[in-house]
Amino acid sequence: MSLENSTVQNTETNPLLADWNTPHQTPPFTLIKHEHFIPAIETSLTEAKNEVDAIINSNDHPTFQNTVVALEQCGEKLERVTSVLFNLNAAETDDTIQAITREVSPKLSEFSNYISLNEQLFSKVKAVYSQIEQLSLSTEDLYLLEKKYLGFVRSGANLEGEARTRYAEITTELSQLSLKFGENILAETNGFQLLITDQEDLSGLPESEIEAAAQSAKSKDQQGWLFTLHGPSYTGFMKYADKRNLREQLYKAYTSRGFQNNEKNNEEIIRKIVSLKLEKANLLGYRTHADYVLAERMAENPKKVSDFLQELHKASRPAALKELSEVIAFAQKEGNEDPLQRWDWSYYSEKLKNASYGFDEQQVKPFFQLEKVCDGVFELATRLYGLTFRENKQIPVYHPDATAYEVFDEDGSFLSVLYLDFFPREGKSGGAWMNDLRPESNVNGKSIRPIITIVCNFTKPTETKPSLLTFNEVTTLLHEFGHALHGMLANTVYPSHSGTNVYRDFVELPSQIMENWATQKEWLDLFAVHFETGEKIPSDLVQKLIEAENFQSGYACERQLSFGFMDMAWHTITEPAIGSIVDFEQSAIAPTELFAPVSGSCISTAFSHIFAGGYASGYYGYKWAEVLDADAFSLFKSNGIFDKNTATSFRKNILEKGGTEHPMKLYKAFRGQEPGIEPLLERSGLKKESVILTVNL
């Protein structure tokens, strides 16, 4: 059917437009149908435009309240509808949802430009901003005023004539290109299957991986064992499968996504994206897209990011080379006479780790039953922040795998709704993320509590076993839960300041600090029991886990840095991109490379973080935030990992504050000082391999 012909727009018949008579006004997912989205968005777009026009056409003298706060509140219904659509497009999509998203994205870009490029509206905001020294405003009010004014400037408000028109064209095209990039990766991921019918080809795989593959094949009405490019299936096969040719096949399928000679190829999309971002930055007076982005980041400019990445590279490179030589020697000892390839790394690394520490990840999985891990994460939030979690089956969910919880504060007051959605499926993008369906706010005393989602792609339960997580999946859950805490504990006035609406190189602090608890025996003892015997995780196994934590930390750091170098290379170009995507990529990451390039493989064409997400010129932020989280957790280690005073300070100064002040000011309020890099080097075991780093955050 034509999406344009949909007419379900009456507020009484369209659940997206009607009042949500659900617990805590959560989305009525069971009532929402595909045909509701287009008319709901068109109606709410008209309403939002009318709200903006009311500000523009007002004859009242521009004030902070009637202009800046009024603008902050424009489009609340539109935001409500689109948040549902975009969450579904990531977590439970199909061809129709994708088509709807493609159709509405240009309209949303046009509306955004209608605001940011409106001369009359900007003149009113500018009039208020010009009085900033005379206004009696709170710290958060002042920050909002500054952000609104700079937001206009950074969105082309000062452009004129052809430049203004071109800016609007660029932003619209970029929104479409990013969507298409993500759709292509999802299609390529779903489009590959490795069906094994010979049991000998399963050699080396743990029983849990084999059973999951058998169940996957059965779900597709196929005989044998089915492996895919989705997280748990791919990573397990690459780590344990003895058949080298099959590991190679799977690796090449994974690393060629978006890089094949078909309609899902992302190469031209990348050229267009980076070239358009450069043109947009130039229009706004910046040399590169990175210069434009970093002007509102802790790092401030590309040189500081480059220095930061280079210093970490110097620290990790010696360790990475040493680790590579150790794996090569081990593989030769194991009988591998061929040169070590990328598809051999996880396989031999896991065996070496087992040999070195007596630690096999399969040993800990029986102690990490998903439901128990969730209990442990909830209990951690209880001990740190006094939170309680109660499942509410009356809250509608968008898929049967998702569960909904009510979250309450220590005094019993309601804080948030939290959706948890753990297992991979064809309608879900890969990876793991947190998002909000509704941000927290308290404008004019009207308190609105947030609705938060955590979406992952974890190991599914089988017919005989529950979902048993790898250690990496445990840390992933802690990571995303940290983001969720940032959203759930938000205590700001304005939604644009709430939760994770902070500088991109600061947003990973609340998430990454949570990962530190994963190796703390005191926390593990709260929940980590064997799913069959009920036995607590043994102390010696935890000790092996701790000893193995920094195994190949140099290699891991170099790999992460390679993504940061690549991101910065793409976004510091000063001329439009016209050459080979893979040649550009290989040049950018050459300093961190440990293997020869693999023909037919490309990272960029599946690098959704920077081409379909919000991390363009910001991927370095993961390592940047590691410095912050290691430094911050050192305070917990000193005072006790459940210390309530430390947790309260972190909550009040970091989690509740969101983007109400500059992040360094917030961090210093918690820590009492700027972060140092020593705790990170010590935690990762790199200090002994490196010189003292000189970069300061």
Q: Which residue has the tokens 């490379």?
A: 593
DSSP, res 438: E
Q: Which residue has the tokens 């080809």?
A: 201
Nearest to 497 by CA among 60, 147, 71, 159: 147
| Structure token pair of residue 482 | 């940290």
> Which residues, in sequence order, are bridge partners of residue 391?
405
> Whole-angstrom Cα distance, residue 566 to residue 607?
10
> Whole-angstrom Cα distance, residue 239 to residue 506?
32
Backbone angles phi, psi at 453, to 5 degrees: -120, 145
> Whole-angstrom Cα distance, residue 675 to residue 665?
11
Beta strands in 310-427 (DSSP E): 388-391, 403-408, 414-421
**Exposure string over 72-100, b if 16+ CB within 10 A, otherwise e:** bebbbbbbbbbbbbbbbbbbbbeeebbeb
Backbone angles phi, psi at 287, to 5 degrees: -70, -40
Beta strands in 179-264 (DSSP E): 194-196, 225-227
The kind and range of the H/E element at 454 are: strand 451-455
The kind and range of the H/E element at 178 are: helix 161-191
Torsion of CA 542, 544, 549, 550, to 10 degrees: 150
The answer to whether 52 and 70 are in contact (CB under 8 A) is: no
> Whole-angstrom Cα distance, residue 181 to residue 663?
31
The answer to whether 30 and 396 are in contact (CB under 8 A) is: yes
> Whole-angstrom Cα distance, residue 500 to residue 506?
9
On the 0-12 / 13-18 / 19+ scale of CB atoms within 10 A, 12 is exposed
The answer to whether 241 and 203 are in contact (CB under 8 A) is: yes
Q: Which of 406, 473, 480, 585 is catalytic?
A: 480
DSSP, res 495: G
Active site residue 391: no
Q: How far is CA 15 from CA 25, 43, 295, 676, in A?
A: 12, 13, 41, 51
> Whole-angstrom Cα distance, residue 166 to residue 159?
10
Residues that are catalytic: 480
